[in-house]
Structure 1
Amino acid sequence: MRILKYIFDFYIQSSLHVALAVYALIRITFFKLNISYDESVAYFGFFGTIVGYNFIKYDELARVKKIKLTKTFKAIIVLSVISAFATFYYFLELNAKTKLIGFGALLLTILYTLPFFPHRTNMRNWSGLKIYLVAIAWVGVTVLLPVINAEVDFSIIVFLKCIQRFFLVFVLMLIFEIIDLQYDDLKLHTIPQKLGLKQTKRLSYLLTLVFLGLDFFKPNITFQQLVITFLVALILLLYTYYSNSKRNKYFTSFWVESLPIVWLLLLLIFG
């Protein structure tokens, strides 16, 4: 039992789970926009997420706080190095325009983590900025990356998919901010800190309904696909409703981040 818990915790801590969520959203973009599956884009997003998220999570711990190198931390470093090589390999497989998006995501990750400006902290600690940066980055990687690499015209449908994906990630991040409300520094000015718990949840409900409504703008969408989006929105509403600062770490780090994976599985089975 302890071994299974260690494996599960490593799966979460090493960012494999969030990387799988990114991979799922890329596959959903292929599905929703009728783009042929592209391994280079999907795996670039998957491995790049492992590298980026582990860099964000563990850079300060290793560089500033000098934490002890445990076996788990060493294993995460090894996984991150292997993922970095895989990311570079799949980066080379992308077309020139897509590489610019990938490079932009890398630059955003660096700026998000390291303090580049005098007398300022990194972008992660800039007041109220984190949630927008994450949502924009996820839109870039999970929507724009596959669209540009497939040389699909940037139509109104693609634009609406960007908006829909932004709202999805934004609501997911709001759940994270609700859970972390009692721990976040007041200087961060997160949305729950500014609006309060009830108003933040009301905002989440509204954005979730918009997320659902945007699916009706897709031409030739099937009834099954609409039902699947409705189920995803319903799960999102339930996650928001039951979110509070007393939830354990697995509520967000596993269950909430599983939503894109559940969405993809539903599309593959019933879509």
Structure 2
Amino acid sequence: MMVAKHFLDFYVKSSLHVSLCYIAFYAVVSAHAGFTPGWIELTAIGTATLVGYNVAKYIHLLNEKFPYHYPIKLLTFLCSLVASITVIELGMRAFALFAFCTILTSLYSLPELLGKSFREIPILKLITIGASWSILAVLLPYAIQTDSIEELLNVINNEGIYGRLIQYSLFVIALCIPFEIRDLKYDPPKLRTLPQVVGTQNSEIIGLVLIAICALLEYLMASGFNVHGIITYIILAITALAIMGSDKIKSDYYASFFVEAIPALWLVLILLSSD
């Protein structure tokens, strides 16, 4: 039992879980857009996500000991090598997109700018995570398929994918709210996270409103009812229930394992529906 717990702790703390769940999210978004991602694509997505999350979580502990610090540092180093190789292999447009999202997420992990910590700007973490997750997932398939930046911009404008960018950003922000509520007992007040600013109950209400907006956008953008749309509504309903349970289920694994796995469930439902 202890061995299983140690493995699960390492699996979560090393960001392996979040990286696999983001791979699932990326595959779902790609499927909705009619793309089938390749292994190099998925490897780049997964390894870059793991490196990004571990840098954000542990950069301030670089010279200190933390649980599983040697294996996590080694895994992060190896993934950074793999991410560098695979991202370059995807081409310059993909590289530029990864670089942009890296800069975007770095706004939260950077310690200081102009004498003020980015971590002290209210709700910045939610915005950067939501934007970076959706921008990379939505635009990367187009960046790989097109031959120039100009063609990529034309495709983006013609495809009308701005609604999807907004929808997926709001979904990710809503999905992060259980984590924000869980971390109330760990976060110092100066971080000014959403629950610290508006309270737990209001944070849950905001999350439910965001999910309702996602459902409305799905209805407006979908061409009639189809299997993907129905599955999306199911996932949105599950996410809403997960948000409502945020302050009732106290286990750290509730957010970091079960809620995090909602995109993986989304992918499983899509794969089952395609058989």
Task: Settle same-fold status: TM greater than 0.5.
Answer: yes
- Percent of aligned positions that are identical: 27
Provide structure 2 residue ranges, at least 5 long, that are not aligned to the other structure.
147-151
Counterpart position of 1:97? 93
Counterpart position of 1:19? 19
Separation (CA, whole Å) in 1 of partners of 2:111 and 2:245: 35
2:11/2:17 contact within 8 Å kept: yes
Which stretch shifts more, 228-237 or 188-197? 188-197
1:23/1:42 contact within 8 Å kept: yes
Q: Residue 143 in 1 paired to residue 138 in 2?
A: yes
Q: Judging changes above 3 Å, is the alpha-carbon distance between structure 1 residues 84 and 150 closer, same or farther for their aligned structure 2 residues?
A: same
SS in 1 for 2:261: helix
Q: Judging changes above 3 Å, is the alpha-carbon distance between structure 1 residues 221 and 35 closer, same or farther for their aligned structure 2 residues?
A: farther
Counterpart position of 2:149? none
Q: CA deviation at 1:34?
A: 0.4
1:16/1:50 contact within 8 Å kept: yes
**Residues 119-158 of structure 1: matches in 2 within 5 Å?**
119-121=115-117, 123-151=118-146, 153-154=155-156, 155=158, 157-158=160-161
Give the alignment's Cα RMSD to 1 decimal.
2.1
Separation (CA, whole Å) in 2 of partners of 1:80 and 1:36: 27
What's the TM-score once normalised by structure 2's chain length?
A: 0.88
2:222/2:229 contact within 8 Å kept: no
Counterpart position of 1:75? 71
Q: CA deviation at 1:156?
A: 5.4
**Residues 185-196 of structure 1: matches in 2 within 5 Å?**
185-196=188-199
Counterpart position of 1:10? 10
The CA deviation string for residues 94-137 of structure 1, in whole angstroms up to 9 with x for no partner, is 2222211111223334443232524232x234333111111111
Which stretch shifts more, 150-159 or 74-83? 150-159
1:179/1:245 contact within 8 Å kept: no
2:122/2:193 contact within 8 Å kept: yes
The CA deviation string for residues 186-220 of structure 1, in whole angstroms up to 9 with x for no partner, is 32222223322332222211111121222234454
Counterpart position of 2:245? 242
Counterpart position of 1:59? 59
1:206 to 209, 212, 216: 209
The CA deviation string for residues 45-101 of structure 1, in whole angstroms up to 9 with x for no partner, is 1000111111111111124xx226x6x221111111111111011111122222111
Q: Residue 229 in 1 paired to residue 232 in 2?
A: yes
